[in-house]
Amino acid sequence: MKAAEIRELSLDELKDKISVAQEELNKLELTHAVAELENPIQLRAKRRDIARLKTDLRRRELAAQ
């Protein structure tokens, strides 16, 4: 997910995306622990997506203050 796409999301959509992405990451990590993932780079990409989402959420929180 690109930063421009993230900025277009509403606050509720952003929070929903974060929770969904964290659930997906947990599932990927569990799958990776049991058996090899076909593409382990997915883990890195998902962590980075979550970081982008959380960064934008924090930016909005600071701007609101």
Which residues have CB under 8 Å from 25's CB, separation 6+? 43, 46, 47, 50
- Indicate the pTM of the whole model: 0.90
Determine the pLDDT at residue 3: 87
CATH code, 47: 1.10.287
How far is 46 from 8, CA to CA, in rounded Å? 19
Pull the structure tokens for residue 31: 């799958």
> Over its length of 65 residues, how does the chain's per-residue pLDDT go in tens digits?
788 999 999 999 999 999 999 999 999 999 999 999 999 999 999 999 999 999 999 999 999 99
Instruction: Give the structural domain span for 29.
Output: 3-64
**Total domain count, the chain:** 1
- Helices and strands (H, E) in the chain, number of each type: 3, 0
Cβ neighbourhood burial of 1 (10 Å; 0-12, 13-18, 19+): middle
